[in-house]
């Protein structure tokens, strides 16, 4: 939503439905957007602003008013899948605010008679080890914060949200990461063999490294991961950023995620594509070019959502 020229929320909801997109993630509460989502049938992941974590963590009444403003008025007509307290704040100075924010939001939802799972969204920078995938482990900086969050989520059967970007790994080291491996190409050769388990795409390898880390942190094999962001830029000058590569990655992703990963075979991965639109108020460069659609609602490239595996 960081664009000066984006369509109105009702038009965006219609565009979702016209493209067989079933769920939407919004990064901060916006009552105009929530109004447009009423009765749409779209599942909604609703985020808090990172700047709201401090009051949410320290003040139960603030969490209650947040729920009363952004969840309660819409709860009957909007299908809330999760509320995520913060996006990519672990590790960092706000990391310790995440779990108390989750706890206060959960208590406020319960007091309001609402049962919406509360979680958080993490970047893969929480990993200290990611290769090979079976050795995945949270970093020493992240583990003290992530460990209790994993326990909180596991005890409730709520998934952890994780943002997965093969693009950034590829663009940082294109000489050591095959493009086909990063793009989930069906023709990609096996690039990683891990205790006899073969990986022919980086998406699965990253996700399974997080699964391994979650298991080591006490989450067991029952804690699910939801990919709360993944995408590929179509421009902006970054290495490998092109319409052709973005179209390949997103279409391959749509076809792939229903199959699960080697560590969770057959277990479909709930996945959110970043992003719906190119956004001209993002930092210059690739950040402005992650959209599947232009602000005028024309396609940057075609995505066949009906091909979802």
CATH number at residue 22: 3.20.20.80
Residue 306, in any domain of the structure: no
Report, as ranges of residue numbers, the positions in the chain whose pLDDT lies below 50.
Answer: none
pTM of the model: 0.96
Residue 51, in any domain of the structure: yes
As beta bridge partners, residue 44 has 24, 80
Number of domains in the chain: 1
pLDDT score recorded for residue 22? 93
> What is the chain's Cα-based Rg?
19
pLDDT score recorded for residue 186? 85
Residue 35, in any domain of the structure: yes
As beta bridge partners, residue 299 has 293
Q: Which domain holds residue 115?
A: 9-293
Residue 1, in any domain of the structure: no
| Residue 221 annotated among the catalytic residues of the structure | no
Phi/psi of residue 197, nearest 5 degrees? -95, 125
Nearest of 44, 34, 42 to residue 14 by alpha carbon: 42
Residue 74, in any domain of the structure: yes
Nearest of 184, 195, 208, 198 to residue 133 by alpha carbon: 208
pLDDT score recorded for residue 309? 52
Residue 31, in any domain of the structure: yes
pLDDT score recorded for residue 143? 95
In the numeric block, the tokens 């206060």 are attached to 104
Catalytic residue, chosen from 106, 215, 224, 229, is: 229
As beta bridge partners, residue 46 has 26, 83
pLDDT score recorded for residue 306? 83
pLDDT score recorded for residue 308? 67
Residue 81, in any domain of the structure: yes
Residue 304, in any domain of the structure: no
| Residue 229 annotated among the catalytic residues of the structure | yes
């Amino acid at each position: 939503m960081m664009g000066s020229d984006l369509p109105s929320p009702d038009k965006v909801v219609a565009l979702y439905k016209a493209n067989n997109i079933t769920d939407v993630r919004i990064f901060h509460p916006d009552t105009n957007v929530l109004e447009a989502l009423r009765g749409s049938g779209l599942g909604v992941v609703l985020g808090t602003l990172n700047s709201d974590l401090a009051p949410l963590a320290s003040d139960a009444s603030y969490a209650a008013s947040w729920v009363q403003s952004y969840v309660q008025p819409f709860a009957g007509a909007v299908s809330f899948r999760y509320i995520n307290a913060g996006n990519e704040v672990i590790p960092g100075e706000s990391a310790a605010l995440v779990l108390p924010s989750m706890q206060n939001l959960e208590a406020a939802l319960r007091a309001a008679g609402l049962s919406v799972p509360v979680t958080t969204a993490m970047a893969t920078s929480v990993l200290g080890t990611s290769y090979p995938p079976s050795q995945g482990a949270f970093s020493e900086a992240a583990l003290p914060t992530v460990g209790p969050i994993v326990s909180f989520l596991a005890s409730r059967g709520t998934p952890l949200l994780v943002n997965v970007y093969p693009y950034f790994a590829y663009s940082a080291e294109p000489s050591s990461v095959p493009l086909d491996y990063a793009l989930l190409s069906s023709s990609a050769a096996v690039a990683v063999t891990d205790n006899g388990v073969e990986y022919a795409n980086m998406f699965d390898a990253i996700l399974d490294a997080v699964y391994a880390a979650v298991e080591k942190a006490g989450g067991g094999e029952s804690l699910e991961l939801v990919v709360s962001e993944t995408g590929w830029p179509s421009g902006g000058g970054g290495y490998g950023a092109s319409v052709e590569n973005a179209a390949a990655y997103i279409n391959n992703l749509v076809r792939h995620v229903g199959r699960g990963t080697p560590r969770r075979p057959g277990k479909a991965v709930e996945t959110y594509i970043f992003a719906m639109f190119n956004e001209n108020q993002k930092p210059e460069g690739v950040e402005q070019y992650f959209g599947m659609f232009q602000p005028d609602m024309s396609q940057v490239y075609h995505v066949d959502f009906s091909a979802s595996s």
